[in-house]
A and B are shown apart, each in its own frame.
Chain A
Amino acid sequence: MSGAAHHAVQAQGVWKIFNEGQAGEVTALQDVTLSVEDGEFVSLIGPSGCGKSTLLRVIADLTSATRGQMTVAGVTPHEARQKQLYGMAFQQAALFEWRTVRRNVELPLELMGWAKDRRRTRAMELLEMVQLADFADHRPWQLSGGMQQRVAIARSLAVDPPLLLMDEPFGALDEMTRERMQNELLRIRRETGKSIIFVTHSIPEAVYLSDRVVVMSPRPGRITEIVPIPLGDSRDEATRESEDFFHGVTAVREALRGHVGGAEARARVGEV
């Protein structure tokens, strides 16, 4: 990656204003400054309308910032998109039902002009990683919701981008599947060392997965706090029941409420 700074994403004073200067002007992002380091897992959390998805979309160059500076993997978001420097996963798996599971994973490689054999090998490698190699020739509609989402994650990793952008990828899954998927994602992260920006509504999910949780608030959408989660790199089911985890959850919850005790709760995180 670019040596400019070892940052997966750097946002400096980013604003996003819809219908600027017109009736119905909405400030979706107000003066957002955030940097995500290489290999870091950062969650964006906040109530509806806080701009977390908008921020992700600005990073992904699916919409452009009204003002401010943004670099993604050391280049402009537009360049990052054109070069597939990030992979993206959405709440809907958005698999193409006319393609097999394997050919869904191959899609981004096809667009990059990879040769057929190479595409196939790479796709099988990724399906191996998400433990769906046996389902390579199945159609997406033959898979459960969780399995479809794993295929979508494999697809987002296809070109081996340094950065993953995930917009509530587990939002439509049931609680048990969701926790399994979280473990899976942490394992993939350990294996690949990707930087991940993860949008979620769920406090426990954000705490369990992240190195830092970015708490946002609406009207206008802005970052109110950034809560570090010092749970270390080897998180497992036991982590979910640990004292540190509860402290993290409390800290994020209080930050979301804009609670004055937020700082206090944060201070307790990692003490035990």
Chain B
Amino acid sequence: MSGTQTSPPGDTAARVPSSASGRRPSGMGRRLRNGAVTVLWALAGIGIAILMWELVKWLGSVISLPINTSDATMPHVWSMVAVMGEPEVRGSETTVLQAVMLATLRSLILAAGGFIIGAGVGLLLAVIMQRFLFMERGLLPFVIASQTVPLIALAPLIVGIGNRISIGPIEWNTTYSVMFIAAYLAFFPVSVGALRGLQAPSPTAIELMRSYGASPGQTTRKLRFPASVPYLVPALKVSAAAAVVGTVVAEISTGVRGGIGRLLIEYARQITSQPSKVYVAVLGALVMGLIVAALVAALDMYLTRNLPKETNA
């Protein structure tokens, strides 16, 4: 029974036969299996979404609905698929699908960069705030206030300031501004979540470390950081989503070309001539979100591999 993930109450574990002791609890295999089930459900979900879309369109043609279900606003799923293969603009070599995929990849890289920088900064801030109480008092209000500034107001400011920065041979690039904005949105959940997590260890555990004469650094590495994982994982999920949204919004509000945000705007302008096109771009943004969610889920599996399932957030 030693392989079960459930935390044994009281003496039940005392009956664990010692012959089974060599067996490590195989949490990873079980989680992979659970992962496969999750993927199947996701695919079923996509199928249902397509069915619903077409059902609403069909209903609209039979009875009067409060929404416009004509092909000009809600194109058929198959016409969206068809438009993927068409050239992006008349006579161009690249198809719509290729253009969307490339733009998605570019945005994904920016979002990932923003997420990594944001999560890193958030973690660093959390460690500083945990270590020094006056820092928590002084910094936390600013951390919270930082998120109340509207992004639309911030974006031109960052581009404006950024364009005057050049560190040695590195010139500021507007894509850096996008990454900066993504990081700006991504750092917040991590800093708040990690701070909670770093403060999570019981007073007994902290006294135990003190009794060993452990330095604050050792206590952070060996106790506080591992103890923060159950708090950190959901924070990382929120943060990753914020980085994706931040990237798309920043691309739009800074006017940076090449990403999925800009493509969405461009294709939306062509909705009267090619209504299906913008939906392909929306799909691209959706796929980007899914990829990021999958990456964070993998990170979650890795970070919580040693923890009892019950504490997984």
Contact = CB atoms under 8 A, between A and B. Distances in A.
B223 interface: yes
A142 B20 CA distance: 13
Contacts of A88: 207-208, 211
Interface residues of B, number: 34
B204 A138 contact: no
Majority secondary structure of chain B interface residues (helix, strand, loop or mixed): helix
Given A94-B205, A98-B229, A81 B210 contact: yes
Given A92-B202, A94-B202, A142-B16, A111 B2 contact: no
A137 interface: yes
A93 to B, nearest CB: 9
A122 interface: no
A91 B207 CA distance: 12
B211 A81 contact: yes
Given A62-B211, A96-B205, A134-B21, A139 B308 contact: yes
Contact of A143 (B13, B24, B207, B311): B13
A145 B268 CA distance: 63
B138 interface: no
A141 B7 contact: yes
Contacts of A144: 8, 10-14
B160 interface: no
User: Residue among B7, B13, B14, B22 with the most chain A CB within 10 A?
Assistant: B13
B218 interface: yes
B213 A84 contact: yes
B1 to A, nearest CB: 9
Interface in A119-174: 134-139, 141-147, 165
B222 interface: yes
B212 interface: yes
Contacts of A92: 202, 204
B64 interface: no
A81 B218 CA distance: 15
B13 A90 contact: no
B106 to A, nearest CB: 38
A272 to B, nearest CB: 37
Interface residues of A, number: 35
B17 to A, nearest CB: 9
A107 interface: yes
Interface string B4-48: 000110111110101001101100000000000000000000000
Contacts of B226: 96, 98
A60 interface: yes
A145 B12 CA distance: 10
Nearest to B11: A144
B154 interface: no
Contact of A86 (B202, B211, B308): B211
User: Residue among A97, A110, A143, A146 with the most chain B CB within 10 A?
Assistant: A97
Given A62-B211, A90-B208, A111 B21 contact: no
22 contacts: A62-B207, A62-B210, A84-B213, A96-B205, A96-B226, A96-B227, A97-B306, A97-B307, A97-B308, A98-B227, A98-B307, A111-B214, A111-B218, A135-B18, A138-B21, A141-B7, A142-B13, A142-B25, A143-B8, A144-B11, A144-B12, A146-B14
